[in-house]
Structure 1
């Protein structure tokens, strides 16, 4: 009985793997039928992150506030607090 279960699981796993391979092949064959909502590539959609000098969290570069030395901050308060430190 255990042998039958193991064989059934093995057949199911092989079938699932073959199914995924067929889907991957079709996706590479027809890239225009991608199910991503936008036409931009994933690389174009990504944005560089910068670390806030005060609290050390990462924020997108377009949302960061920079000082004259090009240090990045997540908010005006952290910019001011960083420059008030002795």
Structure 2
């Protein structure tokens, strides 16, 4: 597992999520941006893809929670905080 690659990818996902949060892009646009980030990050590091996939799955779950419960700010903020904690605990 390449810690630098995953740490950089996590930071990019957080950045993409913040852009989505403030500019209110559609969830499809967010998913596409995250998918592109994952593909770019893992193209030469297939061993990192499982970790990145789990991060994106967690993000997708948060998005589904937002859609079904209409609690956008709370769910998204909780997801971002969990992602930051995970990055801090395991990759810094």
TM-score (norm 1): 0.30
- Compare relative contact order (CA 8 Å, sep 6+) and give the higher one, 1 or 2: 2
Name the larger-Rg structure: 1
**Greater strand content:** 1
**Greater helix content:** 2
